Amino acid sequence: MTSYDKKINSFFEIWLSSTFVLVFIMIIVGGLTRLTNSGLSITEWELFSGILPPLNRDEWDNYFTLYKEIPQYQLVNNTISLSEFKIIFYWEYFHRILGRLIGLFFLIPLFYFYFTKKISQKYLLVCSLVMFLIILQGVIGWYMVKSGLINNVTVSHYRLSLHLIGAFFIISILFWLILILKNKKYKFFFANKSSNYIFYFLFILIFSQIIIGAFVSGLDAGKIYQNWPLMGNSYFPNDLNIKKIDDLFLFDNHSLVQFYHRNIAYLITFYILGVACFIYNKKNIELNKYLYLLIFFLFLQIGLGIMTLLTGLNIYLASLHQICSLLLTLSAINLYYNYIN
């Protein structure tokens, strides 16, 4: 390998790692944008405009006037001042600017790597998928915002979950590529081996929990029952009246969604402990450190979830709870990568 080839490969790794960091930050900022109810403060998509924030009073008044036309202002925030509006505006503004930055940061080097032909095609195909998902994220983001501009005071929790799961897919794919480059060993994620299905089911559980967690966030369902381990005075919320099978799929019901979120967490806990027993039986000491990391983030996530409830949805704990869900996902991916041959 020539010195030039080594530089290209090094640049490729740095680029992927830097994108990973940017997407990680994006997920944090996106979560805080939701927690501060800031996502509807900019009521237009502004795909090519809106690069700079308002620079004078007239521009600020224009954005504020547009915000006053939507239900969130009229029904919830009709007493906020311009200075208070600026706070929620900047959360959404930085969220959008960061999205643009990630798109350009990923797109331009991707063209460079295609033209140099020094990076393996199988890596570039994966990167092309990531680029497609990044563009799709922008479209879904606006699709989500639109749902809160006409008849609702917040965005659709279904569209919110789609936006969040998209971000998790992007960062998971990036992380898998980084693991391959770091360990200098290509591994196909969907390797057809019976023992791998133990991990596939774990990923299904984790991503299902992320979706339900987005439902909880989008509906503010955490405000219904703020005690633990019971929901009110019982395990099953007493304000639910399940009469037929269809009632189990009422994902607009705040209590039911929180009930599912709690119980999927219990299921994930027991399942990971089962995976731990499976790995211990393999007697592969090298895997233990990755397993311990997964278990650490699991119990940290549980603790943060409980504390978030008991503190009345403290915004800092709620943000840490979301960040930890990402760390839990990545630690599961890391364990799986090191498990497969």
Tell me 231's DSSP state: B
Q: Are residues 321 and 307 in the same domain?
A: yes
% of the chain with per-residue pLDDT over 70: 99
Which of 44-53, 134-143, 220-229 comes out lowest in average pLDDT? 44-53
Residue 133 sits in the same domain as residue 193:
no
238: which 2 tokens?
């007493």
Any idea what the Cα angle at residue 287 is, between residues 326 and 126, rounded to 5°?
Answer: 50
Is the confidence at residue 1, as pLDDT, over 70? no
Site of tokens 């497609």: 132
Q: Which of 136, 167, 186 is the last residue of a domain?
A: 186
- The predicted structure's pLDDT at residue 3: 59
Q: For the chain, give the mean pLDDT.
A: 92
pLDDT tens digits, 192-224: 788 889 999 999 999 999 999 999 999 999 999
- Position 2 confidence tier, pLDDT thresholds 50, 70, 90: low
**Residue 168 shares a structural domain with residue 41:** yes
Q: Is cis: bond before 71, omega within 30 of 0?
A: no
176 and 27 both lie in a single domain: yes
Same domain (yes/no): 239, 276: yes
Q: Choose among 126, 131, 134, 272: nearest CA to 189.
A: 126
Q: From the CA atom positions of the chain, what is the Rg in Å?
A: 22
233 and 257 in a common domain: yes
Q: What is the pLDDT of residue 4?
A: 59
Of 154, 186, 218, the domain-final residue: 186
Task: Indicate if 175 and 94 belong to the same structural domain.
Answer: yes
Q: Which residue has the tokens 């996502």?
A: 39
Q: Check if the beta carbon of residue 148 is closer than 8 Å to that of residue 39.
A: yes
Residue 71 pLDDT: 93
| Whole-number Å distance between alpha carbons of 325 and 27 | 11
**CA 160: distance to chain centroid?**
10
Q: Are residues 311 and 293 in the same domain?
A: yes
Measured between alpha carbons, how far is 259 from 253 in angstroms, rounded to an integer? 10
Tell me how far apart the alpha carbons of residues 76 and 64 are, in angstroms, rounded to a whole number. 15
Asked if residue 140 and residue 203 are part of one domain, the reply reads: no
Domain hosting 329: range is 189-341
Helical segments of 117-153, H only: 121-146
169 shares a domain with 193: no
Q: Which of 157, 186, 215 is the last residue of a domain?
A: 186
164 and 252 in a single domain? The answer is no
Q: Are residues 147 and 270 in the same domain?
A: no
CA 3 remoteness from chain centre? 38
pLDDT, tens only, 174-195: 999 999 999 999 999 988 788 8
How many domains does the chain divide into? Answer: 2
User: pLDDT at position 49, please?
Assistant: 76
